Amino acid sequence: MQAFVDRNTVVLGVSFDSVEANRAFAEKYCFTYRLLSDTTKAMCVAYGAAGAPPHKYAQRVSYLLGPDGTVLEAYPNVSPATHAAQVLEHLDAHRAGGGAS
C-alpha cells in the first residue's frame, strides 16, 4: 500500500456489507485502505461489479480512475496476488502520458 501512498493515490474497496461488517472485516484482515458500503448495490451495478439485484456478492473487479474521476483502466478479472503491481504499472504509464500498455 505504501507504493500507492507514495504516488498520492487513494485506494478504496466496495462491498455490499454494512459499515459495521466492513469495519470488522477490515480490522480482522488488517486492511490499510477504506472499505465502502454499497448496501443498495447501486454503485456496484453502475460500475459493472454486479448485475441487477438480487446478486448476493459483488464481483472482484477494479478500476483505475484519473483525478477527474474518468475511468483510465478497467480490470474485470482481478488476481489479488498480482493486481497491485499491475495497477501501479498502469498508474505510472498514465502519469508519464503514455497510458497502459
The CATH number for 87's domain is: 3.40.30.10
Specify if 83 maps to a domain: yes
**What pLDDT digit, counting tens, does each position of 11-69 carry?**
999 999 999 999 999 999 999 899 999 999 899 888 888 877 677 778 888 999 988 98
Q: How many domains does the chain have?
A: 1
Specify if 44 maps to a domain: yes
Report the distance separating Cα 1 and Cα 83, nearest Å.
12
Q: H or E segment at 42? A: helix 42-46
The whole domain housing 44 covers 2-95
Specify if 53 maps to a domain: yes
Please give the model's pTM, rounded to 2 decimal places.
0.78
